[in-house]
Amino acid sequence: RLKVHFPLYKGVIFKRRVGAAQAVDGVSFTLRAGETLGLVGESGCGKSTTGLAVLRMTEVNDGRVVFEGRDITRLDRAGMQPIRRRMQMVYQDPYGSLNPRMPVADIIGEPLAVHGLAPGKAERRERARELLQMVGLRADMIDRYPHEFSGGQRQRIGIARAIAVHPGLLICDEPVSALDVSIQAQVVNLFEDLQERFGMAYIFIAHDLAVVRHVSDRIAVMYLGRIVEVAASADLYRQPLHPYTQALLAAIPIPDPAAEAARPRQIVAGEVPSVLRPPSGCRFHTRCPKAMPVCARIEPVLAGEGGTHAVACHLHNAVEGEAA
Ligand code: SF4
Ligand code: MG
């Protein structure tokens, strides 16, 4: 069960099946208006699938997606149309996500036309010029094509396209991981400025904790399709409870180019099990340095949900009738 609650942007309960198994299974989080939830984990943990499921861009087999007070889980295409305007996506790849044959005016103007926000072409051009300036580009760049921009500039165009239709929620799927480290902070700052200005909520997906640290109000750490820990950002850094979160934090590179290059790509030792055949009990037990006998047998539940700091680990949550 993937269950996401948005008290203002309301929640989701859903499940996605891939073949006979579940790629995302047992995820629960809440997101308020204007808030940023960081969604962190290694590739394949289900964080992108979670984002797509919120957007109803992947099949939701079971459960509920509630957004801005409406259950949108079973809405058809036409029913989703007005919702689509309120939920926008910023993609990881600033090269692949912009149509190379379209000038920027059309790239940004397209969602305006689709959602009937600026019916006239001149109106759309004017709006595109404003949006370019909002994301830190020059208004006179609107007749240029994507190949004329750098990666960071393209990601700014992607952001302009996403905010053009006044979304309440932006799902940002690793929006800076394809960019040079020197550009990443600038783009993260842009996200923060725009949030302050327009009050959008963000689901900010990343594969490491360094990127989401400053942008997130709360962070959910995912492992093999489940959330294993969720806490206010400051609490998660100050006192990470789950051994996997602790490993992710220990893997944050030292801001020294030489040290960064020397650091192995893999975040946590041990082979990542298949999400299609996850380990028994705690899914992390095959890689956990603190694993106990109970861990292979009994799955820990995410305890403390609804509180400020929830964790799914037997070290922190007593198993009923079991001595760990
Ligand atoms: Fe490690 Fe056991 Fe906690 Fe899982 S439940 S994270 S295996 S200590
Ligand atoms: Mg991904």
| CA–CA separation, 272 and 212 (whole Å) | 22
pLDDT value at position 24?
61
pLDDT value at position 28?
66
**Ligand 1 atom with least separation from CA of 285:** 7
Distance (angstroms) between ligand 2 centre and the Cα of 47 equals 6
In the sheet with 226-232, reading across from the earlier edge strand, the strands are 87-90, 169-173, 201-206, 36-40, 218-223, 226-232, 309-311
Separation of CA 49 from chain center: 9
Residue 159: left if φ>0, alpha if ψ -120 to 50, beta else—which one? alpha
- pTM score of the predicted model: 0.85
Token output for 185: 């902070």
**Contact between residue 215 and residue 192 where contact means Cβ atoms under 8 Å apart:** yes
ipTM of the complex: 0.95
The domains found in the chain, sorted by start residue, are 2-101+145-311 (3.40.50.300)
3-state class of 4 per DSSP? strand
Q: CB of 282 closer than 6 A to ligand 1?
A: yes
Which residue numbers in the chain have pLDDT < 70?
A: 1-29, 59-64, 253-267, 305-307, 318-324
Q: CB of 295 closer than 6 A to ligand 1?
A: yes
